[in-house]
Structure 1
Amino acid sequence: MSTDKGLDDADRLLPTPSDCPRPRRYSDFGTLGEALDYAAGTERGLNFHDARGTLVRAYPFAMLRADALAAARRLLAQGVKPGDRLALIAETGPEFAALFFGAVYAGAWPVPLPLPTSFGGREAYIDQLKVQLGSCDPSLLFYPDELAALCGAAAEAVGVTGIVWEHFAEGDAPDIALPDARPDEIAYLQYSSGSTRFPHGVAVTHRQLLSNLAAHSIGMDIRDGDRCVSWLPWYHDMGLVGCLLSPVANQVSVDYLKTEDFARRPLAWLDLISRNPGTTLSYSPTFGYDICARRIGSQTPVAERFDLSRWRIAGNGADMIRPDVMQAFVDAFAPAGFQASAFLPSYGLAEATLAVSIMPPGEGIVVELVEETQLSGGSVSAHRPQRYRAVVNCGVPARGMAIEIRDEDGNVLPDKAIGKLWCSGTSVMEGYFRDPEATAACMQDGWLDTGDMAYMSGGYVYIVGRAKDMIIINGKNHWPQDIEWAVEQLPGFKSGDIAAFAITTPGGEETPAVLVQCRTSDPSERTRLRDMIRDKVRTITGMNCVVELVPPRTLPRTSSGKLSRAKARNLYLSGEIQPYDLAA
């Protein structure tokens, strides 16, 4: 899709530089298009790597801008109007980036949609696309040629015109005047992860986006010479906003691995950081750090293979942050120069554009031990020993963001009191696209009910769990994360293998159910594992539970890769998830 006819192959394989003499601006633009216009005056840009971390395409911001302007004119020539939605399969590459910004220049609203995952298969992916296309009601759906069969089927089913983006790039780009964008117009639609409900299209304006991107640059203390490495998917808010739009608006060069390449070879992420001397910034959910720490064996020459000494901001967000995983990563990679102080926990969600709170750089992972009865809203019992959970500090409110912890009646709670986290600020969404009821359910007088439980301590935010995931048995609250983490401590299980939720027994009683992915085929071993899990959960919750062993790769994920407990529960109750048949 490039217009770089004058560059030879050797030039294309030189990465864009980290440094640039042009003064850096920190997202102080009126629109996203203006941000790219300015970034194009630098030599920085996007760099795409193959599965082994070899650079296959350097894409300076100037080239991105030229391709985006050409795409905008092609769109307008095809009859696309300002305010139209353009659905884009969010493959990490220059084609998606050019179409995304082309839609922005044309005044349309780009809508990133997920790639297929290994879960669910062909029909599940087509069904997911059909629902999201029906929700955003786009004029066109763009996708890479290798996904033409899947995406074309979804587009045809809902009456949307599907276009292979390689074919679209070959069309003429007539000299058509582009519309003028205004800061309070919608820039794009972002689908939330949908871990507790089907995802909604979050409408984000240019002003809200750039406010949040400025908060990124200030919160992370972006400096001259900084460089980013990312494998995060562009259909998720942390990948799109944090690792594509923020680098453009803050003029940071980025090196990308595709998400599926990271999944196959996780250590390629750390190899890429090591081979790029200027790399100082990289983000991941907890599971990314977890899988890398697990892949390092005792025989791996960590200090010889990796150099992580310049990694200044190791961001963490998008799911519950686990201090045990972070410590395991430090233990594994300290010989390569990784410093624990580089960890930068944060908290955010698509409905707030992205960042709600960010840990000040250099403070690392900070935890507080909270007694479990405080987490569940009960009182300490004299008849059992106290048990504590380490809750991670997720930083201070991002610039332009206010946070309140409220009880069920809407009263603001004091420090250390657990309640619902509400936020308000310059980057909170306009609302869900064409869904006023869902918007009204979570928005009140400019404040957003995040649906997450948290508390404040000395100005810092501590995230406890997801309110809608709460398991309430006999009037007592139990966090599913506590049950899942307990099972993960047993040998043979890992993060993502377990889903805990409440079900109603035939006798009408509420009880926790635990689905566990099991890799052994031996019936007696399965029975032993089930009993061991049941005993472990009993020690944590004080009650019996239903334990079901299911085949590997059974538990459903959201588009961002997180466990979807709500969907797991629905599939289990409907019989679509079939547990192994164990003897009683």
Structure 2
Amino acid sequence: MGLSLQHMTILVPTPNDCPLPRRRADFATFVEAIEYAARSEKGLNFHDMRGELAEVYPYVRLREDALDCARRLLAMGIGKGDRVALIADTAAPFAALFCGAVYAGAWPVPLPLPTTFGGRENYIEQLALQLGSADPTILLYPPELADMCGEAAARQGCQGFDWASFAERDAPEVELPTAEPDDICYLQYSSGSTRFPTGVAVTHRALLHNLYGHSTSMEVGEGDRVVSWLPWYHDMGLVGCFLSLIANQMSVDYLKTEHFARRPLAWLDLISRNTGTTLSYSPTFGYDICARRISSQSSVADRFDLSRWRIAGNGADMIRPDVMQGFVNAFAPAGFKAGAFTPSYGLAEATLAVTVMPPGEGIRVELVEEERLSGTRRDLRRPARYRAIVNCGKPLPDMEVAIRAENGGLRGDHQIGKVWCRGPSVMHSYFRNAEATADCMVDGWLDTGDMGYMAGGYLFIVGRAKDMIIINGKNHWPQDIEWAVEQLPGFNHGDIAAFSVEMDNGEEAPAVLVHCRVSDPEDRLKLRDTIRDKVRAITGMNCVVELVPPRSLPRTSSGKLSRAKAKKLYLSGEIEPFTLAA
């Protein structure tokens, strides 16, 4: 039997346009931004795995729910300066809880969802470590995660409530605190840091300034609409595709990240189907997955319409020109324009964006000799090898970018050095970590740890932070991988070196060099497989595991493991791994 018409609910997405004048994040606090957005008819639209509209959440309703959440928190004694940890599921309850914590003067702390790899214990351990660092009063989570999240909260001695239980608590009328521009708005944890988590404290002033600069650089207009699958616990998803849309009064259509992972082309279907979608962002790997999935189909023009996609943002990992060209080749028949690509550079310590490519300029590259990138002399007996370096755009308004040598001196155009930045949206500090803050902040300047050069006012990034491993847009701290392997029997601190290597197909993968003290060939094979499984649980990827002789990993003069030198010696063949049977 079919449903009668009177029982059918037809969902209508929030509009792209409305009479309320657009304001580009020119607010003193994020509370003001929420209040203004609630006067519009725009909002958040959540879609299911098939891309069908499942929930419409206008900003006016978000504001009402957020105020209820704020009253509940205040009634529980949670207020100014307290941390409220939130599992960052792409759903209306998280949006309301985040904004509610801000209304209450507390600091929302978005934390990751469990991944499909790693298992229950690894997730609980990761969550407990981040809770230990943030020291929240309460952890709020989706009901389906009550078992794992409840255990992590119990380990850290903080209260834990699932969303449904929290919603049943009283929300009495109470006076809300007044937010000030220099108050901390939220705490952002790096997506890759688990063993040594560092929370970035972001003020209202820093957040709004970055959102203003980002929207101005991208020339956000009245009718722009966004589609996103990016996770809300990562700065690109949280700031760029959630907070920015409130502060700039834009409607958005969401797919959950796990749904994108299963059906990547649902992202492009949603862009095609939702008339008016002009902005959407992804790390390089997202574009790559879609181009690979469509390679065997000949109906691109019939299935997709990407002609209105004005800003195809690209960031969060190294931008590969070959992947971008592959996407253009695959989807040009659907109207996608290469000039829509908008590279950017940023990091959580600068709230989000540092530089953005001016709209319409697309992917621009320069060919640089590999020896210049590594700082070595070229063997003149061999032909020069070049790498295409992508232009990551111009600094945001009021953002200064400088390239410095190791001694702190300024570098000129096309001279490679450390990327530093300074501006109103640079972080306040690392939460309760004065030493880490002092290591990267000098007189208002932030040492990003990344290498690059300037040319004609544009920034080119040539390498990552010294030891960071970035795979498919996700950061993996080598300490986390090394620490995980050290938990296996028979290993000591300093027995493992982790870094990334480029595979034959051009992709990067984690590599682990491990001191091996067993001599039996079969035992070595078992050990390699055990290590590979352990690292897969941490990174979600297959890795290169090489067993090396004891004491073969290099150390600095102070006795610390030198990952950079270990990688160099391994690639040059100076560290010779044991040969293992197939």
Which of residues 80, 83, 88 is equivalent to 2:81?
A: 83
* One-letter identity of the residue aligned with 2:316: A
2:335 is aligned to 337
The 5 A counterparts of 1:199-214 are 199-214=197-212
Shift of 1:504: 7.7
Residue 488 (structure 1) aligned with residue 505 (structure 2): yes
TM-score (norm 1): 0.83
Q: Rate the CA distance shift 1:22–1:165 in 2: closer, same or farther, 3 A.
A: same
CA contact (8 A) 2:129 2:195 kept: no
- Range that drifts further, 43-52 or 197-206: 197-206
In structure 2, the gaps of 5 or more residues are: 1-5, 470-497, 548-552, 554-560, 567-576
1:34 is aligned to 32
Q: Rate the CA distance shift 1:505–1:374 in 2: closer, same or farther, 3 A.
A: farther
Residue 499 (structure 1) aligned with residue 510 (structure 2): yes
Q: Rate the CA distance shift 1:362–1:384 in 2: closer, same or farther, 3 A.
A: same
Q: Deviations over 1:354-386 (max 9, x none)?
A: 000000000000000000100011122212111
CA contact (8 A) 1:283 1:316 kept: yes
The 5 A counterparts of 1:340-379 are 340-379=338-377
- Which whole-Å CA distance do the structure 1 matches of 2:544 and 2:316 have between them? 16
CA contact (8 A) 1:226 1:280 kept: yes
Of all paired residues, the percent bearing the same amino acid is 65
2:279 is aligned to 281
- Which whole-Å CA distance do the structure 2 matches of 1:189 and 1:393 have between them? 30
2:308 is aligned to 310
- Which whole-Å CA distance do the structure 1 matches of 2:158 and 2:468 have between them? 39
Paired residue secondary structure (2:200) = strand
- Which whole-Å CA distance do the structure 2 matches of 1:563 and 1:432 have between them? 32
Residue 385 (structure 1) aligned with residue 373 (structure 2): no
The 5 A counterparts of 1:61-140 are 61-140=59-138
Which of residues 410, 413, 417 is equivalent to 2:411?
A: 413
2:56 is aligned to 58
- Which whole-Å CA distance do the structure 2 matches of 1:122 and 1:312 have between them? 41
1:252 is aligned to 250
CA contact (8 A) 2:126 2:194 kept: no
* One-letter identity of the residue aligned with 2:29: T
Shift of 1:502: 6.9
TM-score (norm 2): 0.83
- Range that drifts further, 13-22 or 197-206: 197-206
Residue 427 (structure 1) aligned with residue 438 (structure 2): no
Q: Rate the CA distance shift 1:30–1:455 in 2: closer, same or farther, 3 A.
A: same
- Which whole-Å CA distance do the structure 2 matches of 1:327 and 1:549 have between them? 38
Paired residue secondary structure (1:97) = helix
Q: Rate the CA distance shift 1:271–1:554 in 2: closer, same or farther, 3 A.
A: farther
* One-letter identity of the residue aligned with 2:504: V
Q: Rate the CA distance shift 1:313–1:201 in 2: closer, same or farther, 3 A.
A: same
CA contact (8 A) 1:402 1:424 kept: yes
1:151 is aligned to 149
In structure 1, the gaps of 5 or more residues are: 1-7, 472-478, 490-494, 507-522, 528-546, 574-578
1:536 is aligned to none
* One-letter identity of the residue aligned with 2:392: C
Paired residue secondary structure (2:361) = coil
CA contact (8 A) 1:242 1:354 kept: yes
CA contact (8 A) 2:133 2:197 kept: no
CA contact (8 A) 1:420 1:449 kept: yes
1:463 is aligned to 461
The two structures, once aligned, show a CA RMSD in angstroms of 3.0
CA contact (8 A) 1:195 1:563 kept: no
- Which whole-Å CA distance do the structure 2 matches of 1:552 and 1:299 have between them? 35
Paired residue secondary structure (1:282) = strand
Q: Rate the CA distance shift 1:467–1:180 in 2: closer, same or farther, 3 A.
A: closer
- Which whole-Å CA distance do the structure 1 matches of 2:304 and 2:374 have between them? 42
CA contact (8 A) 1:219 1:358 kept: yes
CA contact (8 A) 2:112 2:191 kept: no
1:543 is aligned to none
Paired residue secondary structure (2:258) = helix
CA contact (8 A) 2:181 2:205 kept: yes
Paired residue secondary structure (2:316) = coil
Residue 22 (structure 1) aligned with residue 20 (structure 2): yes
- Which whole-Å CA distance do the structure 1 matches of 2:271 and 2:195 have between them? 36
- Number of equivalences: 515
Q: Rate the CA distance shift 1:565–1:79 in 2: closer, same or farther, 3 A.
A: farther
CA contact (8 A) 2:46 2:254 kept: yes
Q: Rate the CA distance shift 1:10–1:315 in 2: closer, same or farther, 3 A.
A: farther
Shift of 1:465: 1.0
